[in-house]
A = this chain, B = another copy of it.
């Protein structure tokens, strides 16, 4: 079995050499140069990622990764921990937001138990359980280094096992904005206060407690900002590691990863910390309404495709962005050219 190091060595830069011919095709189409804006840059990135001016975009899969968090015993979430498992059943029964939006976007949803705190035995759930939830990181590390590596390698394995042309990431885990904020603020070197928000809807007192919990976790565990696996182990979560792995796996397969919101972007920050080429292979689907997500995306240098005030997670933002990418690719392949349609070009 390959190690995380083995996998990381398989990721190289995207093929920017194809971009000129992509742009040439876009410029031959019946529209003013560049007038499709972000849709054109999405076409260029799809092509560079796949290393061809004729990228494929038929098969789309959203992976919704679930995990539980020992830190919820500190009272950082508005919902009881049991909701993680209940929502997993909701995903498998196709009743959740991500199911509706994924169906709308023509995406398959793969639901994965990365570390839910209970046994879940239901058809259609993929079992990659690393442990029954993480430990409370205010009293010790959230997981062992081995578990952190296992969560990432499991995510890579998921990406390698499933066929897809575009991958979307998603998460479920009561309390998981807390480890996401913790992981990101350590790696980015920012103040916990600036990247800690209300999650599913906590009040002011709980928010203060949440910031304090993150600060105490970081002071106690001393994660090394230069070592993303250490950070993930000390203050992270299994689904965050899994999402980092999905993005790495997509890069290995030369396919675009569409990163969902706050939790998924924390995963992307881990992945990029492990290999700088990862940068070429993912986009951020939307700007979450969760405080701090703008700081995450600016740090990554990624402009989110959408900004709809959403903060649901699950892969809901990824599903909507995949719909936009699909539309962009249809334009790329289906629009008429100036010559073909007999339309005159720019005269000034």
Chain A contact residues, CB within 8 Å of chain B: 29-39, 75, 77-80, 82-83, 86-87, 89-90, 93, 95-97, 100-101, 103-105, 199-203, 206, 289, 305-312, 316, 319-320, 323-324, 326-327, 330-331, 334-336, 340-348
**Known A35-B311, A78-B346; 6 more pairs at CB < 8 Å:** A31-B96, A36-B316, A78-B347, A86-B344, A100-B330, A200-B346
The residue that A312 contacts in the complex, of B32, B78, B312, with Cβ under 8 A, is B32
Residue with the highest number of chain B CB atoms closer than 10 Å, among A34, A79, A308: A308
A205 to chain B minimum Cβ distance, whole angstroms, is: 10
Question: Are A104 and B202 interface neighbours, CB within 8 A?
Answer: no
Rounded to whole angstroms, the CA-CA distance of A153 and B216 in the bound complex is 67
CA distance A326 to B101 in the complex (A): 10
Nearest B residue (CB) for A90 = B341
Question: Shortest beta-carbon distance, A300 to chain B, in Å?
Answer: 19
Out of B32, B80, B203, which one reaches A311, CB within 8 Å? B32
Are A335 and B100 CB-contacts (below 8 A) given A78-B32, A82-B344, A202-B348? yes
Q: Judging by beta carbons under 8 Å apart, are B96 and A308 in contact?
A: no
A111 to chain B, nearest CB (A): 14
Which of B38, B100, B340 lies in contact with A308, CB distance below 8 A? B38
Q: Interface majority SS on A: helix, strand, loop or mixed?
A: loop
How distant is the Cα of A65 from the Cα of B29 in the complex, in angstroms?
Answer: 20
Task: Kindly list the 3 A-B residue pairs having the minimum CB-CB distance in the complex, ordered from nearest.
Answer: A37-B309, A95-B336, A32-B200
* Alpha-carbon distance A169/B134, docked complex (angstroms): 52
> In the complex the two chains form, is A348's CB within 8 Å of B203's CB?
yes
Contact B95 A30 (CB under 8 A): yes
Indicate if the CB atoms of A344 and B83 lie closer than 8 Å: yes
Say whether A324 contacts B347, CB under 8 Å.
Answer: no
Give Cα distance in the complex from A15 to B340, angstroms: 48
A327 nearest CB across to chain B (Å): 5
Chain B residues, Cβ within 8 Å of A36: 97, 310, 312, 316
Provide 25 A-B residue pairs closer than 8 Å at the C-beta atoms, listed in order of the A residue: A29-B97, A30-B87, A30-B95, A30-B96, A32-B78, A32-B201, A32-B311, A35-B312, A36-B312, A37-B289, A39-B310, A78-B347, A79-B348, A83-B343, A86-B344, A89-B341, A95-B336, A96-B336, A100-B327, A100-B335, A101-B331, A104-B327, A105-B327, A201-B346, A306-B306
Quick one: which of A104, A206, A316 has the most chain B CB within 10 A?
Answer: A104
Which residues of chain B are within 8 angstroms of A90 by Cβ–Cβ distance? 30, 336, 341, 343
